[in-house]
Amino acid sequence: MTSGDLTELTIKEATHLLRLGSISASDLVTAHVERIEQLDARVKAYLRMTQEVWERQAEEADRKLRDGDAPPLAGIPIAIKDVLCVKGVETTAGSQILRGFKPPYTATAVQRLFDAGAVMLGVTNCDEFAMGSSTENSSYFPTRNPHDLLRVPGGSSGGSAAAVAAGEAMISLGTDTGGSIRQPAALCGVVGMKPTYGRVSRYGLIAFASSLDQIGPFARSVDDAALVLSLMSGLDPLDATSSQRPGMEVLNNYGAGVKGMRLGVPREYYDVEGIEPGVKAAIDAALLILRREGAEIVDVSLPHTDYGLAAYYIIAPAECSSNLARFDGVKYGLSEEDSPNVTELYTQTRRKGFGTEVRRRVMLGTYALSSGYYDAYYLKAQKVRTLIKRDFDAAFEKCDAIVSATSPTVAFPIGTKTQDPLSMYLCDVLTLGGNLAGLPGISVPCGTSDGLPVGLQVLGPQWGENVCLRVARAYEEASEIRAEVATPSPLQGRGSG
């Protein structure tokens, strides 16, 4: 096989070749590194490469393969979002305020994949502190969509999604606070899974909004996403919010197909304001396929959807204003040491280290939590959150899973929404409800609109990852739509950037 062929494999295909001895872990890693060297100057999915790590891990994977005791991900190349700590590897959350920070520990979710034999290629770009929907808020540079270099890859996990879409990693990890796995997965034409809140440990994740954040995988197939999720899930004594449920339960019955299942289509999601005709057409086609496979499509309602965006943009900034208070330039990261006193040290460090969007959300959150406004804003938003959770509970009494578009639009041109925060926030209108309710969700490719990928979102009940995966896998098989590796040319684009 050529190196190009190796960068298009799924985990199942690669594992088969590795165990036959047809290829080595080093071959697989080298092919992906060469792909990165060929393309990433244009795509810009990666912030930094970890050569010492991949050389050591690939060598270990090859040894275990030779000895016949290889773990399930032995030799599989992965990329890690720049909000997940890896011991000794610079981790900055896409921000200048953490420049030079090398964690003394590794995030539990990452460590579990390392223990399963995965090989880390590098750290992927993201919106600063995961705040954004386009990866244009990175303090380094914007990542570009491999399907059209003039367009965004989505966000905040745009680097991780673009790396898988461009064949620069076989799988990658991202985080989802309001849609930051599912939305870029849709825009880049790959599979992206957000688990139930508590399914995956958040230990070692640089927090944005602690009651919303979850870690999940990007992959080229539903099977790959399911395997990775099962390996990284489970109880972690280092995270008090992690569930005791075994990780392997996400695989329960997930290959059973959709015959006899009831799939709900919320009218508020189907007719959401701003949905593009091509996206709606792709979703209609997906619903026809699911119906043909034996699913019953039923109407459901999520009546408080219109309040979700406002509630989210009070709760998330409030939590981020608290979480980001620790970044003051004293113990690690950027420090304006010439400041005349400690107050000026804090002020100057944070002003210089935080980008515009982060400062905006910190100020919004601080205001919402301030004396006299807490009840009017934060407390009321939490009450709306409860109503949204009840909407989902009522919907799941009528259906097994909820299906919709993942994003109301396809990837938009770089720079078109950076000066209009509200327009950018609306990118997550179909995904943030799942975070507010703590539910699992997956985005799977479901065709194109104007030549750009469209994603089908499947939301399941709490702890219903296997339900989401079951629907997504059945659709993937029936539609024969796969996450195709994109190879952008130097001048690729549609002239709209």
**Exactly one of 24, 138, 156, 407 is catalytic; which is it?**
156
> Angle formed by the axes of helices 465-479 and 222-232, to 10°?
160
Backbone angles phi, psi at 86, to 5 degrees: -130, 125
**Do residues 206 and 83 make contact, with C-beta atoms less than 8 angstroms apart?**
yes
Q: Which residues pair with 76 in a beta bridge?
A: none
Whose tokens are 């989505």? That residue is: 154
**Do residues 91 and 103 make contact, with C-beta atoms less than 8 angstroms apart?**
yes
Instruction: In whole angstroms, give the CA distance from residue 127 to residue 140.
Output: 9
Q: Is 81 a catalytic residue?
A: yes
**Do residues 270 and 451 make contact, with C-beta atoms less than 8 angstroms apart?**
no
Q: Which residues of 348-364 are buried (b: 16+ CB within 10 A; e: fewer)?
A: bbbeebbbebbeebbeb
> Angle formed by the axes of helices 305-323 and 380-395, to 10°?
130
Encoding tokens for residue 310? 């406002």
Would you list the DSSP string of 254-270?
A: TTS-STT-EEEEEHHHH
**Exactly one of 133, 139, 180, 233 is catalytic; which is it?**
180
Q: In whole angstroms, what separates CA 219 from the centre of its chain?
A: 10
Task: Say which amino acid occupies 496.
Answer: S
Task: Say which amino acid occupies 430.
Answer: L
Pick from 331, 332, 348, 329: nearest CA to 340: 348
Encoding tokens for residue 427? 């990118």
Nearest 5 degrees, angle CA 86-CA 91-CA 92? Answer: 160
Encoding tokens for residue 357? 């969007």
Q: Is 22 a catalytic residue?
A: no
Instruction: In whole angstroms, give the CA distance from residue 383 to residue 390.
Output: 11
H or E element: which one contains 323? helix 305-323
Give catalytic residue positions. Answer: 81, 156, 180
